[in-house]
Amino acid sequence: MTDLIDGNAAADVVVPSVDAAPDSQTVGWRHRHLLDVDELSTADLDLVMRTTDAMREVLARPIAKVPALRGRNVTILFYEASTRTRVSFEVAARNLSADVTNIAAQTSSVSKGESLVDTIRTVEALGARMLVMRHAVSGAPYLAAEVFGGSVLNGGDGWHAHPTQALLDLYTMRSRLSGGSVAGRKIVILGDVLHSRVARSNIWALTAAGADLWLCGPTTLLRGFEAWAGRGAAGGRRFHVTADVDRALRDADVVMALRIQRERMSSGLLPSLREYAARYGLTAARLALAQPGALVMHPGPMNEGVEIAPEVAAGAQSVITDQVTNGVAVRMAMLYLLAGVSAAGAAP
């Protein structure tokens, strides 16, 4: 991945007219699937951001709908429970006038032992042309992309990746930070980094965008990231890994808290949720170490009182609801861009 220097990079990127069908115009997008952000170039990222701007304009209309994907079938196949991501994709697809099919693995033939490959082939035979997929196993969307004739959008796979979350996080930061750029800004991801697909995708997106990225949490939840930080991510750009929460938060421009799950205690990685909250919870006192007006983010769902204090989550610096709204716009942008790519001649 090449570097996205600032919000004005790749100014020559042509943004499609999102009111028209994507295949009726030249759209500078070459990828057939969205499996993670590590495969996206500077121009790709900038096109996503600018197309999201156009989708935000659509969402601001009295009728927040365009006919761009009329007649196209978008199938949402989730093997894990979800509210934000699943509903966000469904709203995004309907706003583009697509036909939407929702499949929950628990109520499908998967519960009777049907394999992932057989399920993918079945939904394709039933007319699916775009597949939004979430799976508990890392890499499952990559397998789906090998057998599916249309486009696969990864809605989250295991601990590996959550590309649209990283894109909406980047968009939210760019839209709320002065100058419209994260380049040189200190951005902290705080919490259970080890088990976070959100953190992994954000590492690629934020280093590509030139951020001064810091990962912070208990040492048991940072294992392996020190080595990655030394190698570097996008463009070989390095980032910081520390268990010192005060050092991480000092002068931060953005702080993103990650969800802590109870099973981390049973596996011996954390002594208790109470101790985690006391040592690493994002409280008002800890937030005071950051820059005045630093943005507070969370990918959700939140455990208020554990990884983030309720007054911080709902405070004036919180942009968590912006993330949700921007999630619809980003997913509209990705569905639109992918719909403009034919299977033949598209990059993977």
Are 232 and 288 within one domain?
A: yes
Domain at 225, CATH number: 3.40.50.1370
pLDDT at 82: 85
Q: Which pLDDT tens digit goes with each residue over 304-335?
A: 999 999 999 999 999 999 999 999 999 999 99
pLDDT at 72: 94
Are 217 and 313 within one domain?
A: yes
pLDDT at 178: 94
Q: How many CB atoms lie within 10 A of CB 197?
A: 22
pLDDT at 343: 43
Instruction: Give percent of the chain above pLDDT 70.
Output: 90
Look up the pTM and report it. 0.93
Expressed as residue numbers, the domain containing 200 is 165-320
Are 18 and 158 within one domain?
A: yes
pLDDT means per 10 residues, the chain with 348 residues, are 44 82 88 96 93 97 96 94 92 98 73 80 94 95 96 96 98 96 97 96 96 97 96 94 98 96 68 90 98 97 95 98 97 96 55
Are 176 and 153 within one domain?
A: no
Are 283 and 333 within one domain?
A: no
Are 14 and 154 within one domain?
A: yes
Are 309 and 334 within one domain?
A: no
Are 305 and 180 within one domain?
A: yes
Q: Which residue has the tokens 């011996």?
A: 268
Total domains in the chain come to: 2
**Cα atoms in the Cβ-side hemisphere of radius 13 Å centred on 83:** 5
Provide the token pair at 175.
């839209």
Secondary structure (H, E, C), 88-100: HHHHHHHHCCCEE
Q: How many CB atoms lie within 10 A of CB 262?
A: 11
Alpha carbons 100 and 203: distance in angstroms, whole number: 31
Are 10 and 158 within one domain?
A: yes
Are 138 and 246 within one domain?
A: no
Are 193 and 338 within one domain?
A: no
pLDDT at 33: 97
Q: Which pLDDT tens digit goes with each residue over 167-191?
A: 999 999 999 999 999 999 999 999 9
Are 62 and 94 within one domain?
A: yes
Q: How many residues does the chain have?
A: 348
